[in-house]
Amino acid sequence: MDSLLEVKNVYAGYIKDLDILQGVSLNIAPAEVVVVIGPNGCGKSTLLKAIFGILTPNKGSIDFKGQSLVGLKSEKIVHQGLGYVPQIANIFPSLTIEENLEMGAFIKSGSLTSEKDAIYTMFPRLAQRRKQRSGTLSGGERQMLAMGRALMLKPDLLLLDEPSAALSPILVGDVFAQIKSINQGGTSILLVEQNAKKALMMADRGYVLESGRNRYEGKGSQLLNDPKVGELYLGGNKHSADI
SS (H, E, C) 78-97: HHCCEEEECCCCCCCCCCEH
Q: Which domains does the chain have, with CATH numbers?
A: 5-93+138-233 (3.40.50.300)
User: Residue 110, SS3?
Assistant: coil
Among the listed residues 121, 167, 120, 127, the one whose alpha carbon sits nearest the alpha carbon of residue 143: 167
Contact yes or no for 59/65 (Cβ under 8 A): no
pTM score, whole prediction: 0.91
Least confident piece of the model among 164-168, 200-204, 213-217 = 164-168
Rg (Cα) of the chain, in Å, rounded?
Answer: 17
- Please report which confidence band the pLDDT of residue 235 belongs to, taking 50, 70 and 90 as the band edges: low
Tell me the one-letter amino acid at 241.
Answer: A
Among the listed residues 156, 130, 155, 152, the one whose alpha carbon sits nearest the alpha carbon of residue 141: 130
Which parts of 152-226 fold into alpha helices (H)? 169-184, 196-202, 220-224
Contact yes or no for 177/144 (Cβ under 8 A): no
User: Residue 21, SS3?
Assistant: strand
Tell me the one-letter amino acid at 129.
Answer: R
Residues 42-97 have pLDDT tens digits of 999 999 999 999 999 999 999 999 999 999 999 999 999 999 999 888 999 999 99
